[in-house]
């Protein structure tokens, strides 16, 4: 494929335009990284956006978090799912991903599998399940942004490359960076934590990207039977041995079903 210059600043400016249309989501994204913000404050903001509040309540009451039907207030829901999860759900809304009719092929299928995989693997990388889930849920934001900027070109790229390392290389050849790296640029723009930004920026290669990189490999194995496998030992920096692959995948599949229902994607 030919190279296409992708102006990251233009992409981020477009995101800011979208943010002006979802003021509550924008306020949550801006506030939830503030250490002084509490669950009651975030819940009060959520209450001004019925759709967002419903998503958080549904997730908190899902089988994934193990409290089905027992979460009856927004402050408790925020506490159950965690600030990062609330912020991630708001970011999905802010970027228009919950309403976009034109997303890359299989976008939400990949995103839910990545979220479940990251959540399951998180403790092996010294991350909480909730924080790791957020990395997976947002990792594909950059893919959506690339698709918006280059619909036919990105569709062709997805159709001709394997999810994971091969696709990251093709994205870098065409756009100058990979989709997780573009996600990192967007999250840095919105002042997400440096650790989260680095974890996505280093997905194609780098120690801090090992969690999401491993999740991409497991997701590719689940969604693409013909995927050319890379060993988990190397991808994960020896945190996840290849011998655990089948067991890990079985657990992730169960989590995918729970997350689909929780996110209203089933």
Contact 97, 245 (CB under 8 A): no
How do the domains of the chain map onto residue ranges?
Answer: 8-263
Return d(Cα 9, Cα 11) in angstroms, integer.
Answer: 5
Return d(Cα 177, Cα 183) in angstroms, integer.
Answer: 10
Alpha carbon dihedral 237, 159, 112, 234, in 10-degree steps, equals -10
Alpha carbon dihedral 133, 135, 137, 253, in 10-degree steps, equals -50
Q: Which residue has the tokens 């090992």?
A: 210
**Fold designation for 8-263:** Hypothetical protein af1432 (1.10.3210)
Return d(Cα 244, Cα 258) in angstroms, integer.
Answer: 22
Whether residue 72 is predicted with pLDDT greater than 80 in this model: the reply is yes
Record the tokens describing residue 257, joined without a space: 């079903």
The pLDDT of 114-122, averaged and rounded, is: 98
Q: Which pairs from 27-30 meet CB under 8 Å and 24+ separation?
A: 28/52, 28/86, 28/87, 28/90, 29/87, 29/90, 29/91, 29/94, 29/190, 30/190, 30/191
The pLDDT of 106-125, averaged and rounded, is: 97
Using pLDDT thresholds of 50, 70 and 90, give the confidence band for residue 35. Answer: low
Return d(Cα 98, Cα 100) in angstroms, integer.
Answer: 6
Q: Which residue has the tokens 């994205």?
A: 171
Query: What local confidence, expressed as pLDDT, does residue 216 receive?
Result: 98
Convert the pLDDT of each residue in 223-264 to its tens digit: 998 899 999 999 999 999 999 999 999 999 999 999 998 888
Which of 1-5, 100-104, 150-154, 214-218 ranks highest by mean pLDDT? Answer: 214-218
Return d(Cα 124, Cα 156) in angstroms, integer.
Answer: 35
Contact 235, 214 (CB under 8 A): yes
For 107-163, the DSSP string reads HHHHHHHHHHHHHHHGGGGT--HHHHHHHHHHTTHHHHHHHHH-HHHHHHHHHHS-T
């Amino acid at each position: 494929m030919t190279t296409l210059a992708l102006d990251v600043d233009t992409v981020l400016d477009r995101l800011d335009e979208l943010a002006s249309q979802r003021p509550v989501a924008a306020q949550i994204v801006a506030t939830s990284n503030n250490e002084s913000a509490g669950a009651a404050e975030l819940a009060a903001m959520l209450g001004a956006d019925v759709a967002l509040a419903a998503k958080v309540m549904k997730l908190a009451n899902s089988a994934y978090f193990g409290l089905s039907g027992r979460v009856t207030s927004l402050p408790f829901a925020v506490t159950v799912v965690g600030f990062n999860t609330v912020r991630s759900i708001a970011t999905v809304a802010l970027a228009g991903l919950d309403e976009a009719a034109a997303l890359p092929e299989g976008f939400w299928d990949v995103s839910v599998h990545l979220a479940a995989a990251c959540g399951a693997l998180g403790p092996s990388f010294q991350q909480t399940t909730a924080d790791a889930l957020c990395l997976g849920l947002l990792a594909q934001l950059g893919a959506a942004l690339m698709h918006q900027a280059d619909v036919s070109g990105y569709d062709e790229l997805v159709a001709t490359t394997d999810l994971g390392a091969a696709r990251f290389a093709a994205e870098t050849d065409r756009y100058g960076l990979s989709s997780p790296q573009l996600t990192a640029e967007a999250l840095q723009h919105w002042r997400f934590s440096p650790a989260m930004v680095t974890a996505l920026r280093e997905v194609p290669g780098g120690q801090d990207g090992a969690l999401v990189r491993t999740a991409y490999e497991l997701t590719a194995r689940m969604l693409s039977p013909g995927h050319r496998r890379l060993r988990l030992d190397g991808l994960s920096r020896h945190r996840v041995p290849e011998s655990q692959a089948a067991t890990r995948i079985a657990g992730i599949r169960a989590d995918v079903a729970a997350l689909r229902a929780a996110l209203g994607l089933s």
